[in-house]
């Protein structure tokens, strides 16, 4: 008897950890590079999945490639294309709710400032949500490698556009090198975002361990943590995160690509779940890691996870999203249906 499986690309899910530039399709990056006459590094031309050691040189290599890709995004139509394609691509993978994050600072120089940059993204997110029938929310993310005052400016911009409707700002994040910046200095920015009722979703606990998550908890009061995978190293802190109802955006392929774990089997997703953590699998930067959202679920299936367990993971992604309760209910029902449909027998 061969294993019976359902199509994971039709499993309804929420995608809560995806970066704007990192969401780009390889062919789009190549088009934009040609359009703006930019020479791409070989690693971006080849579309080979990135694999770096978990040290500073590895992170810098990742950042260099990310910056090279970002440099190809220069016009309003580039921005709109990326948003539209991110929504369409995720739709084809069963995503019913997408929360995509962007640091508008990176593109503001070409587009006349952070305000017009964000407004283009919000406008296109609204249109793409309707076009592709996906519920879309935008997360504004500040960067640890810039001054905390810049984070405050971004938090105020995010707060100004806060809302629950399609294509509104639903969250505020903090990304980039976990070794950079002083977490406490970003607390005022997170307070601004909290007052606007934005979801607080800083990165933490990927490149650095539980000590980093502890800092994030103490100073930023997160609703979800981007990654948090290394909480598995500190069961007590993990239990505290679970007790506080803080969700984790777990991105297994990203962890392996950045050398945090040797392979997929070593990523301790199961430890987090055993402790009751609410998890949303995420692709992080499919452009660099050559692995999309469904691939995260497929990877776990290859490790022996059955459909009921994978469906429960998808449920958890929806529960910890910022979707409205109506959308959540609809997507949760669709997951029940997916699981109730008998799988195809392959032989
Ligand atoms: Zn990330």
> Is 206 among the catalytic positions?
yes
Q: What span, in angstroms and rounded, lies between the C-alpha atoms of 64 and 319?
A: 35
Q: Which element (helix H / strand E) includes 253? A: helix 252-257
Tokens linked to 73 = 């995004």
pLDDT tens per residue, range 101-137: 999 999 999 999 999 999 999 999 999 999 999 999 9
Q: What percent of the chain has pLDDT over 90?
A: 86
Question: For residue 59, what pLDDT is reported?
Answer: 87
19 CA to centre of ligand 1 in angstroms: 6
pLDDT-derived band at 33, boundaries 50, 70, 90: very high
pLDDT tens per residue, range 176-200: 877 788 999 999 999 999 999 999 9
pLDDT-derived band at 1, boundaries 50, 70, 90: very low
346 CA to centre of ligand 1 in angstroms: 36
pTM of the model: 0.96
Q: What is the mean pLDDT of residues 262-283?
A: 97
Q: Which of 99, 206, 215, 249 is catalytic?
A: 206
Q: Do the Cβ atoms of 198 and 162 come closer than 8 Å?
A: yes
Instruction: Report H helices in 93-223.
Output: 105-111, 114-132, 148-160, 187-195, 210-220
226 CA to centre of ligand 1 in angstroms: 6
173 CA to centre of ligand 1 in angstroms: 10
Q: For ligand 1, an ion, list residues with CB under 5 A.
A: 284
101 CA to centre of ligand 1 in angstroms: 9
State how far the alpha carbon of 123 is from the alpha carbons of 76, 194, 321, in Å. Answer: 11, 23, 21
pLDDT at 346 over 80: no
Q: What span, in angstroms and rounded, lies between the C-alpha atoms of 88 and 323?
A: 18
Q: What span, in angstroms and rounded, lies between the C-alpha atoms of 67 and 260?
A: 21
pLDDT at 168 over 50: yes
Q: Do the Cβ atoms of 21 and 289 come closer than 8 Å?
A: no
116 CA to centre of ligand 1 in angstroms: 24
pLDDT tens per residue, range 72-101: 999 999 999 999 999 999 999 999 999 999
Tell me how far apart the terminal alpha carbons of the chain are, to the nearest angstrom.
8
Considering the domain 13-331 in this protein, what is its CATH number?
3.20.20.140
φ, ψ of residue 271 in degrees (nearest 5): -60, -45
Question: For residue 345, what pLDDT is reported?
Answer: 63
Cα angle 136-142-145, degrees, rounded to a multiple of 5:
145
Question: For residue 4, what pLDDT is reported?
Answer: 62
What ranges do the domains of the chain cover? 13-331
């Amino acid at each position: 008897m061969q294993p019976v499986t359902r199509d994971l690309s039709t499993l309804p899910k929420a995608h809560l950890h995806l970066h704007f530039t990192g969401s780009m399709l390889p062919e789009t990056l190549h088009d934009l590079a040609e359009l703006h006459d930019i020479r791409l590094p070989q690693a971006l031309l080849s579309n080979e999945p990135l694999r770096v050691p978990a040290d500073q040189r590895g992170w810098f290599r990742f950042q260099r490639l990310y910056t090279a890709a970002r440099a190809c995004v220069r016009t309003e139509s580039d921005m709109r294309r990326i948003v539209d394609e991110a929504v369409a691509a995720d739709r084809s993978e069963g995503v019913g709710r997408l929360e995509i994050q962007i640091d508008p600072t990176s593109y503001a120089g070409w587009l006349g400032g952070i305000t017009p940059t964000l407004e283009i993204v919000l406008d296109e997110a609204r249109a793409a949500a309707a076009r592709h029938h996906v519920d879309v929310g935008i997360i504004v993310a500040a960067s640890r490698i810039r001054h905390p005052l810049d984070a405050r400016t971004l938090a105020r911009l995010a707060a100004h556009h806060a809302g629950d409707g399609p294509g509104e700002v639903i969250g505020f994040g903090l990304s980039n090198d976990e070794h950079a910046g002083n977490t406490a200095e970003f607390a005022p920015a997170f307070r601004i975002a909290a007052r606007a009722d934005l979801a607080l979703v800083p990165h933490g606990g990927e490149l650095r361990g539980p000590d980093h998550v502890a800092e994030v908890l103490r100073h930023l009061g997160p609703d979800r943590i981007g990654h948090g995978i290394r909480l598995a190293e500190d069961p007590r802190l993990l239990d505290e995160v679970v007790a506080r109802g803080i969700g984790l955006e777990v991105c297994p392929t990203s962890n392996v690509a950045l050398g945090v774990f040797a392979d997929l089997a070593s990523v301790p997703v199961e430890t987090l779940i055993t402790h009751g953590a609410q998890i949303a699998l995420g692709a992080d930067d499919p452009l660099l890691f050559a692995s999309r959202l469904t691939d995260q679920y497929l990877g776990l299936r290859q490790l022996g996870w059955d459909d009921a367990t994978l469906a429960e993971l998808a449920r958890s992604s929806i529960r910890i999203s910022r979707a409205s309760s109506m959308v959540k209910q609809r997507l949760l029902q669709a997951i029940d249906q997916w699981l109730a449909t008998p799988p195809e027998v392959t032989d």
